[in-house]
Amino acid sequence: MNTATGVLRQEHDAILRMLEVAEEAARRLDRGENVPADTLAGLLEFFRLFADRCHHGKEEDLLFPLLEKKGLPRAGGPIGVMLDEHEQGRSLVRQMAAAAEDYGKSDSTARRRWAEAARGYADLLRQHIHKENNVLFMVAESLLTDAEQAELARAFERVEEEKLGPGTHERLHALMDRLAAQVLAP
């Protein structure tokens, strides 16, 4: 059976892989090496669509409200912390986007700004994912029945189709593979 928390953990693995790509791109920028603008654009697309709209959307629109109904408070608990960190991540992605735009215009500070925002985003998301995998999802697994987990996993599929459109999930995974091969290859 595919559980909702299992789906989210698999998505975390994909996000962690792209954080490695972003950090390597940041190291290259720090060393003064050229990173193609389309690589930065691809990372931004992945983080905006897959990490935020798809993954965080599933959590914010479906998982968190269900956990609240089960008695887990939004304020003062793990849900509130996760929501705050989602907003921090969005802010860092906006900083990366602004720096990427300036990078395309040969702005001398763009490399440093993109690298700093990417490292901040990677640090934030690694800690965030650790908390979700080892705290929030464990709580969810103790609160949700097998039937609720299965229904939530089905709802995730429907929401993904609605938010991203047909074929986008596959396209983003292909993008992930291409970027990893491009940036992480020796």
Domains contained in the chain, number:
1
Residue 136 contacts residue 82 (beta carbons within 8 Å): yes
Range of the domain at 96: 4-184
Q: Rounded to whole angstroms, how far apart are CA atoms 68 and 100? A: 38
What tens digit of pLDDT does each residue of 33-78 get?
999 999 999 999 999 999 999 999 999 999 999 999 999 998 988 9
Q: What is the mean pLDDT of residues 77-88?
A: 95
Task: Identify the pLDDT of residue 107.
Answer: 83
- Has this prediction a pTM greater than 0.85? yes
Give residue-wise pLDDT tens across range 126-156: 999 999 999 999 999 999 999 999 999 999 9
For residue 107, give both structure tokens: 């702005």
Whichever domain contains 162, its CATH number is 1.20.120.520
**Residues above pLDDT 90, as percent of the chain:** 85
pLDDT value for 151 = 96
Nearest Cα to 63, choosing from 165, 159, 167? 159
Let me know: does 58 contact 159? Beta carbons within 8 Å.
yes
22 close to 43: Cβ distance less than 8 angstroms:
yes
pLDDT digits (tens, 9 = 90+) for 5-31: 999 999 999 999 999 999 999 999 999
Say if residue 1's pLDDT is above 70: no
